[in-house]
Amino acid sequence: MDRMEIDKIVKTVIEELQNRGLIQDKRHNSYSNTELLLYNYNNLQKSIQENDLEIKELQEFGLPKKSGSIITIEGISTNNAENDLVLIEERVNDLLQTNARTTAIINKIDRLIRVFENPKYPGLIENLYFKHKTYEECAEIYNCDIATVSRNKKLLVNNIKSTLFPNDILDELSL
């Protein structure tokens, strides 16, 4: 058997074990998903602002014009003001729903950070994830060693993940 055949067999076996739930793909577990949310917290806030700006532009200026030509399909003009209004309304509603969902996630993260935060290390999550400070910088801020920063970060993320992704945790435990 050559190396390519062995690799193919191994890949097939791993995929089958994952499909049966006997092994988990560790790249996307509840802990890493929680960290992804925390690392993207600032981007989530920016997306709300960008969506608000797009809503304002749609309401003020309408749809962006792509071409001055009018294309007719079976006698129906695609340059119809009524259709544009429907498209604008649908897009605005989509953006509003996205903002509502994103705002709810941000508010939940804020609340969980306050609930689980160690009073001895206030702002640890914000410093590590939102301000992108290193463990060394946080150790200086809190006058502790790097292992303490790491341990407290893991504790906080584990507590937050249990509220954000309870079903994923149960799946990871194969319950």
| DSSP per-residue string spanning 87-127 | HHHHHHHHHHHHHHHHHHHHHHHHHHHHHH--TTSTTHHII
User: What pLDDT band is residue 93 in, cutting at 50, 70 and 90?
Assistant: very high
Q: How confident is the model at residue 10 (pLDDT cuts 50, 70, 90)?
A: confident
Q: Which of 166, 164, 128, 168 is nearest to 149 (CA)?
A: 128
Query: Is pLDDT of 145 > 90?
Result: yes
Phi, psi for residue 169 in degrees, rounded to 5: -65, -45
Report yes or no: 21 and 173 within 8 Å, Cβ to Cβ: no
- What pLDDT digit, counting tens, does each position of 46-81 carry? 999 999 999 999 999 888 776 555 555 454 455 577
Instruction: State the Cα torsion 38-99-30-24 to the nearest 10°.
Output: -130
Calculate mean pLDDT across residues 101-130.
96
CA distance 84 to 165: 39
pTM: 0.71
For residue range 82-92, list pLDDT tens digits in order.
888 899 999 99
Residue 175: the pLDDT is 54
Cα gap 57→59, rounded to integer Å: 5
Average pLDDT (139-164) is 96
Q: What is the pLDDT of residue 76?
A: 47
Interatomic CA distance for residues 95 and 89, integer angstroms: 10
Taking a C-beta distance cutoff of 8 angstroms, is the pair 106, 41 a contact?
Answer: yes
Which pLDDT belongs to residue 12? 80
